[in-house]
Chains A and B, each alone.
Chain A
Amino acid sequence: MSELKSGSNLEKVLKAGHFAFTGECGPPKGANVEHLKEKLAHLKGHVDAVNMTDNQTAVVRMSSLAGSAIMIGEGSEPNFQMVCRDRNRLAIMSDILGAYSLGIRNMLCLSGDHQTFGNHPQAKNVHDIDSMQLIALVKKMRDEGKFMNGEDIDVPPKMFIGAACNPFADPYEYRVYRLANKIEAGADFIQTQCIFNMDKFRDFMKKVVDMGLHEKCYILAGVTPMKNAGMANFMSKFVPGMDIPESLIKRLKGVDKKDQAEEGIKFALEQVEEFKEMKGVAGVHMMAIEWEHMVPEIAERAGVLPRPAV
């Protein structure tokens, strides 16, 4: 990792050895640019980059490409999310070129939630390529300056390539190998699924370190502060791939309803403290879902401010 691959702020922060802190923002369910700008204002200066989600949970929203471009205008750095569900390889490559042209330098490559979970379950899904192949494609476009078909790109897009990893999905024993495969495919950084089961994540990271994967790729641990016990219950039951220990639900239920948000934040802060010391973890990805206004306080209390200027 001697030269910068993309020159993005996130890449520079990680390369300089700082503990990275990224945020997340969902685009509006409409063209409400003002609302998006309000949400982005909360994150500005408190994180190194902000993920702009791409029709997350298969619900139609403003495109992540447009949202990312608006974010640049507002002075934050986007991590442009792209799913394989809604685009074939032509649209994927064309959007990557468009994203780079608009100043986007980070990209998160995802398969995408199945449309069954969203608000247009009747839709045809694309899945022309999968997330592994998308990672390899972005790398090929960046490092070889070629399209998938081998033709030359006139000014190749230089992206810092991100991928997701869910250590809690089954089969568990395979997850670290799938992560290794994503790194092999070209992932520069990983943002994990929300972590709640710390015992399992410790075990997972031990495997990651044993395989030396943390030396090939920056791993950002995913944290979502719970707003209340109801949210924990809901996520546990209805969000695929979530592993929420009963002990956490109990802990949230153990305090007054009005104090549950604070308890959720406390748990998140304890996690961040542990991740700062955990071998192989290069930063935290803070997914404060529809809770962007809490990020400044969370970042402050997590002791990650001010964000490094690199």
Chain B
Amino acid sequence: MIVADRKSLEEILAMVENNKKILILGCKGCVTVCNVGGLKEVEILASSIRIARKKSGKDIDIDINVLERQCDREYVAGIKDTVGDYEAVISLACGVGPQFLSEMYTDQTFYPGVNTTFFGGATEHGVWEERCAGCGTCAIHLFGGLCPVARCAKSLLHGPCGGSSDGRCEVNKDTECIWDTIVRKKMEQGRLEDLMGVRGPKDWQTARDGGPRRSIREELIQGNI
């Protein structure tokens, strides 16, 4: 899923500093699963802003709502009759949400309430880790099912670099050296030869380097499926 972190209350307060009536809009997709933009988080943010504004003597009127998905025009259209009632809207969806909203409601201001961080999953309660860089050419099967593009700080295809120690990444001791894990897995399997030889340079055209990406499914466009 897409993982995000809530922006600080200070940053959000600064965004809506001059607004007296706003909407906080959550999303039931990924950000609900990673506990950053679901109904609960929307309510918490609304209360926090109300309290802070009351303290500073500048009361604010806040409504809340949570869409099924902010990355889907069908659901985004669901607020068309009310979105104009507010001076601004804070979206707690990933970076896709406030953009779909901005594209549909061109006169309204949408603030991102979260920082979208990565594609990953929860490794324990309250901890999420990156697993995929969305490079567009998946080759994890070549590396024991683990992705060095996303999980090595240098995206090495022939690791580990000389800084690996005790299975930890030199950049951050809290981060696993994924190459250490890949090598050890191959050694245990007796398949070290899988890592020998020189892999050709990666084709980054399918990654962000090739420009903004688009996925086209002709069969869906034609209505065959």
- Spell out A's residues near B (CB within 8 Å): 84-85, 89, 111-114, 116-117, 125, 127-133, 135-137, 148, 164-166, 169-171, 173-174, 177-178, 180-181, 184-185, 193, 240-241
Contacts and interface: CB of A to CB of B under 8 A. Distances in A.
For the complex, would chain B's binding face be called helix, strand, loop or mixed by DSSP majority? loop
Contacts of A181: 158, 195-198
A190 B157 CA distance: 20
Given A177-B192, A181-B196, A169 B163 contact: yes
B201 A148 contact: yes
B137 interface: no
B154 interface: yes
A133 B162 contact: no
Interface string B154-179: 11111111111111001110000100
Contacts of A137: 201
Interface string B183-197: 110010000100111
A130 B166 contact: no
Nearest to B158: A132
Interface in B135-162: 153-162
Contact of B180 (A128, A135, A170): A170
Contacts of B75: none
A166 B162 contact: yes
Given A171-B183, A241-B164, A241-B165, A129 B170 contact: no
A169 B164 CA distance: 6
B201 A133 contact: yes
Contacts, number: 101
A128 B204 contact: yes
Contacts of B177: 170
Contact of A170 (B154, B155, B160, B197): B160
Contacts of B171: 114, 116-117
Contacts of A131: 158
A129 B161 contact: no
Contacts of B165: 169-170, 240-241
A185 B167 CA distance: 25
A97 B127 CA distance: 47
A175 B153 CA distance: 19
A132 B170 contact: no
* Chain B, interface residues (CB within 8 Å), range: 20 to 34
Those 7 A-B pairs whose CB atoms lie nearest each other, nearest first: A166-B162, A240-B163, A240-B170, A132-B158, A241-B162, A130-B156, A169-B162
B153 A114 contact: yes
Contact of B155 (A127, A136, A148): A127
A44 B100 CA distance: 64
B199 interface: yes
Given A116-B171, A171-B180, A184 B197 contact: yes
Given A128-B204, A164-B162, A174 B183 contact: yes
A148 B180 CA distance: 29
Given A114-B170, A130-B154, A173 B162 contact: no
Nearest to B199: A133
Given A171-B183, A174-B160, A241-B165, 5 more contacts: A130-B155, A130-B156, A164-B162, A169-B162, A173-B187
Nearest to A182: B158
B161 A169 contact: yes
A164 B158 CA distance: 13
B145 to A, nearest CB: 18
Nearest to B172: A116
B196 A184 contact: yes
Nearest to A193: B162
8 contacts: A116-B172, A127-B154, A130-B156, A135-B198, A174-B192, A177-B196, A185-B198, A240-B163
A100 to B, nearest CB: 21
A127 B201 CA distance: 10
